[in-house]
A and B are shown apart, each in its own frame.
Chain A
Amino acid sequence: MSTMKTTRDVKGVGVSIPRPDGPEKVTGRVQYVADIQPKGLLHAKLLRSPHAHAKIVSIDVSAAKALPGVRAVLTAKDIPHLKKKAPTRAHAVLAIDRAVFMGQPVAAVAADELSIAEEALDLIKVEYQVLAASIDPLKAMLPGAPPVADAGTEADTSEALAHSAVAIAKSDAPAKAVNISQQARLQRGDPAKGFAESDHVLEKTYRVPMVHQGYLEAHAVLAEWDRNGLLTLWASTQGSFNTRSEVADVLGIPENRIRVIPVECGGGFGGKIRALCEPITAVLAQVTKRPVRYVMTRREELQAGMPAPQVIIKLKTGVKRDGTLMAIDAETVIDSGAFSGAVLAVSAVFLGSMYKWPSFDIRGFEVLTHKPSVAAYRAPVAPQTIFAIESHMEQIARDLDLDSVEFRMRHLIQEGDPMVNGQPWQSNGAKQVLARIAEHPHWKSRKQWMAAAGKNGKRRGVGLALGGWLGGLQPTGATVRLNPDGTLAVLTGQVDIAGTNISLAQIAASAYGIDADLVRITTGDTDVAPMTGLSAGSKTIYTVGAAVLQAAEDARRQTFEIAAAELEASIHDLELTDGKITVRGMPDKGITLATIGKKGNLYMSKTPPVLGKANPAFTQQAPGFAAQLARLEVDVDTGEVTLQDFVICQDVGKAINPLGVEGQMQGGAVQSLGIALTEGLMFDDSGRLTNPSLLDYRKLTAADLPNLETIIVEVPSPAGPFGARGVGEPPIIPAPAAIANAIQNATGARLTELPMSPERIALALVNGKH
């Protein structure tokens, strides 16, 4: 472990430090929601619709209510404040008169034991009238398709704003089909002319199914009301303040009547941003006057969680023989499930703006279907979009016999180039990561490696792809206090899932001027912490890190002011070394941080306690790019892919804690490889999920993978703390395209639909006669 000193000559930014909660996690002592066992606990279960679309004719709960041990049975009519036209999934607490996806909650039970609650569900009698359902998004777009939302329901764009913070003009196309909930169109130049003047026109449709984030801890919440009507929620959430706002809005109670305690979160990846089961659990606790816990089963997660949307991208490009880009025409259809809330902008930005297309016509549609509604999944819609554009770029280079890296490099954007929405690209390391991965021995030696394939019926291929993320923004706050012993206490409301708290401590250490070991960071609940944004969108270090940096600088300034008065010296002549502030050149004239800290907490003391604070808002994004390279073997008989090597090269601006950065790069890449190779929620024509278990919905295991190589590139961002950029999203973006390109390199077959299962590959090889 490096103990190299960094900025301000302390153990801080740039050093690999293991997260301090590691021992708690490896001993099983960390408490998640399901581990909390308050006295008098009741267990909740939800009765869910067995139909994708059905009118609820009647519900009879009398037998369930009569079961001993059952404390409450609720249906929609028992809940006041329920909006009939639910604008979000959270508002659809229980189905009112129509179920709009299979798995939608229809009734709720709280009981003394989980087994009693389960038994009670069997006793609830619901009469449904099954209605025609819209399952395929392309059919759902057509006029006359069975409608999903009630007429007049507003589109929900909050997810897009939280995640990508990129504005695009909404389309004002007049006549829209009943299930198109959002649409946008971006145009520049004359694409028709561009295509007419092109030598090479390539048109393909790329398809990515719904995928589940797969956080290992299912959604879970514990709710309790006190006698004063204050609601406390112990939540597995990526943002406690967001959870508080949503629950307050759904239940129609003021936010200051709700306290959200963010319990250790067993993974979220975007799926635990929005409220899901919190409102109904709160109502059950209110009705029973007991603590109520609800934990979703894995089956419920897969059937009725909030997965990533199905995305279909029709892409057409025109280029000159020498590779000069002429025009791009794209149509993205995002299947948002039963409620609006998908991110529409990201697809348009990356389809049209990653390479410098002189003319484009890019259309995007969010379509509602009778399937579970979607949420974010790590860089929402970016892996799907990059799968399309980076597969396409590779294919163009191959068709025109161009070097695919040089072709990309020639057209790749850089700082100042306009995005499709007209906004300029901020400084970024896109070119640097692409150049760096192209220098990798696996890329340079690819022809020799392929030629060395054994005679075992397996063909070798090498592929790469580039992808990026614009970087999220959200206002946030932090405080930094000097303790009476000279240590620092940092407080934010940031939910730490990935290990961000140690990085924030390192930022505070470097900004203030003491070792990170002397900084303790606390994640406060919504009653205690300064308002803090979501743990999402690759923005924790970029925004909360900036707040902590400013708060630590504020604390340092206050500390120095006190020292200057005590030492009767100018503040400019002071320096802080090893916990002591001295007058420069006079090492004997000094005061320790502990003395200053003590004076801030002494009876009758005239010294104010040091309390640094910052509550910034942000305007400047810092895009993060990653390039990934895959070396794989394809069994041409079975279509099976064996991944031999995988390299992740990513611009992180500044690696605050390289250990944590590597973990993000490796973890993100494996999620991306799962999307590429094995994952997909499969619905039949009636809207029933056909693979509702982790046996049938295959996530990648350790045995499916090689060790993943990480290459950290640091192109400092202008505004991020110590030049840092967001780290979490970029590594999930390029792999599907890199794998598709490697498979084509190996076999000649171009896969355009995910996952690239053995079956699909084998069929492509047979049909394409490669």
Chain B
Amino acid sequence: MAKQILSCTVNGEAVEVLVQPYVTLLDALREDMGLTGPKEGCGTGDCGACTVHVDGKVVASCLMLAMQVRGRKVRTIEGLAAADTTLHPLQDAFVRLGVPQCGFCIPGVLMSAAALLEENPRPSEEEIRYGIAGNLCRCTGYTKMVTAISEAAGTLASQGSAR
């Protein structure tokens, strides 16, 4: 099959790549754009390790064709930290509270959490738990994750009010 030109914005930069029309967004990001932060844990949209944002909404990138993001904005874990590499408050809280163990689920969890906080800046514990319910983690038991997301929400809120 002939490759097609995919033009979109990835992590704030305009991107043009040649992709097969049948490849998933996840494969295009990983194989064609060198963004290996999103992971394939299942390939069927059940584990959340491939979670990215498309136009600000969480998407299981293993379930979406790459060509579906033509002209749209994609954000991956590589685009979560600020351009000066300062960690996002979520990333910072995850490190300080010792959330990552094997680390494989972490990029997806962080993207789900980031989308949650953008939509709901002060979520309850229950809202956080539902916000990351699409992300399986097998190491942490989720407790530290929920605490870290709650803490990051507080940090973001105080940053917002300081501005």
Contacts and interface: CB of A to CB of B under 8 A. Distances in A.
**Residue of A23, A297, A299 ringed by the most chain B CB atoms within 10 A:** A23
Contacts, number: 183
A31 interface: yes
B80 A27 contact: yes
A230 to B, nearest CB: 27
Nearest to B37: A28
A702 B104 contact: no
Contact of A702 (B36, B76, B145): B145
Given A216-B49, A694-B42, A702-B132, A16 B98 contact: yes
A55 interface: no
A703 B129 contact: yes
Interface residues of A, number: 59
A21 B102 CA distance: 10
Most chain A CB within 10 A, of B102, B110, B133, is at B102
Main SS class of interface, B: loop
A1 B132 CA distance: 26
Contact of B102 (A265, A665, A707): A265
B50 to A, nearest CB: 11
B135 interface: yes
B146 A216 contact: no
Contacts of A28: 35-38, 76-78, 106-107
B95 A23 contact: yes
A665 B144 CA distance: 11
Interface string B106-147: 110010000000000000010011101111111111111111
A22 B141 contact: no
B136 to A, nearest CB: 5
A25 B46 contact: no
Nearest to A708: B143
B96 interface: yes
Interface stretch (A395-403, A540-548, A655-663): A655-663
B103 interface: yes
A133 interface: no
B36 A663 contact: no
B103 A264 contact: yes
Given A26-B106, A27-B37, A32-B104, A666 B91 contact: no
Contacts of B129: 702-703, 705
B47 interface: yes
Given A27-B37, A703-B133, A18 B101 contact: no
Nearest to A19: B98
Contacts of A32: 39, 104
B155 interface: no
Contact of B44 (A659, A670, A671, A694): A694
B91 A670 contact: no
Given A27-B87, A216-B47, A216-B49, A669 B141 contact: yes
B117 to A, nearest CB: 15
A267 interface: yes
A139 B102 CA distance: 39
B141 A701 contact: no
A705 B137 CA distance: 12
Given A216-B39, A216-B136, A670 B141 contact: yes
A84 to B, nearest CB: 35
Report which residue of B38, B77, B101 has the largest number of chain A beta carbons within 10 angstroms of its beta carbon. Answer: B101
A370 B161 CA distance: 63
Contacts of A29: 37
A667 B40 contact: no
Contact of B138 (A21, A214, A295, A695): A214
Nearest to A658: B98
Contacts of B142: 666, 670, 701-702, 705
A499 B101 CA distance: 6
Interface in A685-724: 693-695, 699, 701-703, 705, 707-708
Interface string A20-60: 01110111111110110100000000000000000000000
Contacts of A671: 138
Interface string A259-286: 0000011111100000000000000000
Contacts of B125: 707
Contacts of B143: 666, 707-708
Contacts of B136: 214, 216, 694, 699, 701
Contact of A660 (B43, B98, B110): B98
A498 B101 contact: yes
B100 A26 contact: yes
Nearest to A28: B37
A29 B141 CA distance: 23
A22 B141 CA distance: 17
Contacts of B36: 28, 31, 34-35
Contact of B95 (A26, A115, A264, A498): A26
Contact of B104 (A217, A498, A667, A705): A217
A760 interface: no
A295 B135 CA distance: 21
A498 B141 CA distance: 13
B41 interface: yes
A75 B42 CA distance: 27
Contact of A693 (B38, B44, B96): B44
Interface string A112-133: 0001000000000000000000
Interface in B1-38: 20, 22, 30-31, 34-38
B98 to A, nearest CB: 4
B13 to A, nearest CB: 16
Given A26-B95, A32-B39, A702-B132, A216 B102 contact: yes
A298 B37 contact: no
B43 A663 contact: no
A152 B138 CA distance: 39
B3 to A, nearest CB: 12
A213 B139 CA distance: 11
28 contacts: A16-B98, A23-B95, A25-B106, A26-B94, A26-B110, A32-B39, A32-B104, A37-B31, A215-B104, A216-B102, A216-B137, A265-B102, A266-B39, A267-B101, A267-B102, A297-B43, A298-B44, A298-B47, A497-B102, A663-B101, A663-B139, A667-B141, A694-B46, A694-B47, A701-B135, A702-B129, A702-B132, A702-B145
Interface of A: 1, 16, 18-19, 21-23, 25-32, 34-35, 37, 115, 213-218, 264-269, 295, 297-299, 497-499, 659-660, 662-663, 665-671, 693-695, 699, 701-703, 705, 707-708
- Which 9 residue pairs across A and B have the least CB separation, nearest first? A28-B37, A666-B141, A266-B104, A22-B95, A25-B103, A28-B77, A694-B46, A703-B133, A35-B36
